[in-house]
Amino acid sequence: AGTVEYLFNAESGEFYFLELNPRLQVEHPVTEELTQVNLPATQLQVGMGIPLEKMPQIRRFYGKAEDDLDSPIEFLEDNYVYPEKHVIAARITAENPDDGFKPTSGKIQRIKFQSSVQCWGYFSVGANGGIHEFADSQFGHVFAHGKNREDARKMLMLALRNMDVVGDIRNPVEYLGELLGMQAFIGNTITTSWLDGIIRERTVELRYDSAAVVFYAAVFRALQTANSRQ
């Protein structure tokens, strides 16, 4: 199995190949939501010697009826059922958006995230867990889908705005929410250098509640003092 990465020019209909990774990417739930095909399960079945055209999910993806178990599928010629939705994903990492997205490490006291019908996420760190300084900075992933790109964008932006990560680490959740609300992203006029320009020019600035900053700093100092006396 492999993941093919490419750029697509919507105006000309041209594809530009980037790379092929001989593994599933962490974004494979995007493909699964669009196709309703469980990719890891499909890989296991291939490893067991089961032909693709015998797998129920693959047959459904190619428009075969549930009671049609034998008609062949010409994968290079037959058309699959075109997806009727759009999916967008956001990686949740322990990176500091105010410092060039440098990785951070430390404890995580709480992660507040509410899944919905159109948005779900998973996290590799639970309450009272943490991110090690030598570990990969990604500890979560959020996926949102809608009838079109704009609907999916709004669902993801709402989910990120309602999400909260409390702990020693920094994370780009608020930053991602701001990016999703930028006109260039809404209009889908971004390029591969778009984010680099925003980081360089500091176009996105996170706003912090000064009262909340003082409050949490005081709580943190109180906890440090209490722990030192134990």
- Annotated active-site residue in 23, 110, 200, 221: 23
6 within 8 A of 17, measured Cβ to Cβ: yes
- Write the CA distances from 115 to 86, 119, 131, 156, integer angstroms: 17, 6, 23, 11
List the structure tokens of 9: 């020019």
CA-closest candidate to residue 148, choices 188, 91, 116, 189 = 188
CA-closest candidate to residue 103, choices 117, 112, 113, 93 = 93
Phi-psi category of residue 116: left, alpha or beta, with phi > 0 → left and psi -120 to 50 → alpha: beta
Question: Which residue(s) pair with 89 in the sheet?
Answer: 143
154 within 8 A of 100, measured Cβ to Cβ: no
23 is catalytic: yes
What's 94's DSSP letter?
S
32 within 8 A of 122, measured Cβ to Cβ: no
Active site residues: 23
